[in-house]
Homo-oligomer: A and B are copies of this chain.
Amino acid sequence: MSVEIEFFFDVVSPYSYLASTQIPKLEAETGATVDWRPFFLGGVMKSANNSPPARVPNKAKYMYADLQRWAERYDIDLQYPSDFPVNSLRAQRLILIAKRLHSDPAPLARRFFEAYWAEGRDISEPEVLKEAIEKTGFDSEQFFEQIEKDDIKKKLEANSNEAVERGAFGAPTFFVGDEMFWGNDRLDFVREAARSK
């Protein structure tokens, strides 16, 4: 049976964006399957009694340089959005809806990541989200019909709570079985763990 890697992420998180671009490589190198699990980072941080890194001015400045270094290494576009952070609740719910309707939420999640982190679009705006859904080849009306449904709201909360209960405090968070890994910069450890299973 194929090893499963759980990838908890939020499209508002730049290090989640970085990691998301490496998932195909991770799957190819390990033979593992990555389960894209959206959670709501704001809720996770709050439950875990954590605070955003950018609250520390020197850290915010450093993160900017650090993100550019990673983007260069990965050869991807990354521009710090002028409206960071935005509310990602709608985007994260839509990714859950993609999972429900089409089983693989990765294409839509990627599209949201790119819209926000490469193109500087405001992914809290329904119009931006709808355009991304259409671009992914899905029906945005069908998606938006579900966005306020209780079971979708509850599923996002459940994912967030589950992650925190299992030890998460930020994003991205990976699990290989019970082993947890935090951050784009731990992908090599994730790789090793998946290979050893």
Contacts and interface: CB of A to CB of B under 8 A. Distances in A.
Contact of A56 (B49, B55, B59, B186): B49
Interface string A29-63: 00000000000000000001111000111110110
B50 A168 contact: no
B58 A168 contact: yes
B48 A189 contact: no
Contacts of A51: 51
A164 interface: yes
A154 interface: no
Given A65-B180, A180-B65, A58 B164 contact: yes
Identical copies of this chain, number: 2
A179 B68 CA distance: 12
A195 interface: no
Given A56-B169, A169-B56, A180 B50 contact: no
A50 to B, nearest CB: 5
Interface string A154-197: 00000000001001111000000001101001100100000000
A69 interface: yes
Contacts of A50: 56, 58-59
Interface of A: 48-51, 55-59, 61-62, 65-66, 69, 164, 167-170, 179-180, 182, 185-186, 189
15 contacts: A48-B56, A48-B57, A48-B59, A49-B55, A49-B57, A50-B58, A59-B169, A61-B167, A62-B167, A62-B169, A62-B182, A65-B179, A65-B180, A66-B182, A69-B189
Given A50-B59, A51-B51, A69-B189, 20 more contacts: A48-B56, A48-B57, A48-B58, A49-B55, A49-B56, A50-B56, A56-B169, A58-B167, A58-B169, A59-B169, A59-B170, A61-B167, A62-B180, A62-B182, A65-B179, A65-B180, A66-B182, A66-B186, A185-B185, A185-B186
